[in-house]
Amino acid sequence: MEDGDAARMRGGATVTIPIRRPRAPVPVYLRALRVVTAALATGAAVVYLLIGFGVLRVVETGPSGPSLLGFGLGAAAAFLFGAVVILVSDRMLLWVLGAFFQVFTIFAYVGVAAERTPAYEAWGIGLRIIQGLILVALVVLIARYPQPERVRRSAS
């Protein structure tokens, strides 16, 4: 007697359970790409921490100018979170959100450039290059990473 037969004998309903077929093996280059992408995100987080703590000067502020600590800590936390997600999660939706985050922050940097002095600086450009590389890597992962197929199986 199968598991589903006992439920049917007691008058139970047939239940359809979604299951996932095993994913195809992940190619080595995609596993390596995940590690490199997480390393890039971690590198960006370190740069943002240095900006936040004032070690790297990216904008000219006077003695009463705003502190960049909150900005640096927030950006560093976001990139560290992204690095962890890239390494430990196979959820495509999170990778897509990460790609949109990269696009948003790149456009935001360009959008506020006119209000900053200097408008563009080496660290900012370097971070945009890192973010561009992260974006390309996420697109490749999204397009090429094997996903498990959803199959519907009856529990009868």
Provide the terminal-to-terminal Cα distance of the chain, rounded to the nearest Å. Answer: 11
For range 127-135, the mean pLDDT:
97
Contact 72, 49 (CB under 8 A): yes
Q: What is the pLDDT of residue 60?
A: 75
How much is the pTM?
Answer: 0.78
For range 9-37, the mean pLDDT:
78
Share of the chain above pLDDT 90, in %: 58
Q: Tokens for 88, please give them.
A: 């430990």
Give domain status of residue 40, yes or no: yes
CA distance 121 to 109: 11
Q: Please tell me the total count of domains within the chain.
A: 1
Give domain status of residue 43, yes or no: yes
Q: Tokens for 130, please give them.
A: 């890192």
For range 13-42, the mean pLDDT:
84
Give domain status of residue 10, yes or no: no
Contact 32, 144 (CB under 8 A): no
Average per-residue pLDDT in the chain?
85
Residues 6+ apart with CB under 8 A from 30: 140, 141, 144, 145
Residues 6+ apart with CB under 8 A from 20: 148, 149, 150, 151
Q: What is the pLDDT of residue 67?
A: 82
The confidence band for 18, taking pLDDT boundaries of 50, 70 and 90, is: low
Residues 6+ apart with CB under 8 A from 106: 128, 131, 132, 135
Give domain status of residue 9, yes or no: no
Residue range(s) defining the domain that contains residue 36: 20-154
Please give the single-letter amino acid code of residue 99: A
Q: Does the pLDDT at position 30 exceed 70?
A: yes
Query: Higher pLDDT residue, 114 or 43?
Result: 43
Q: Does the pLDDT at position 23 exceed 80?
A: no
Give domain status of residue 122, yes or no: yes
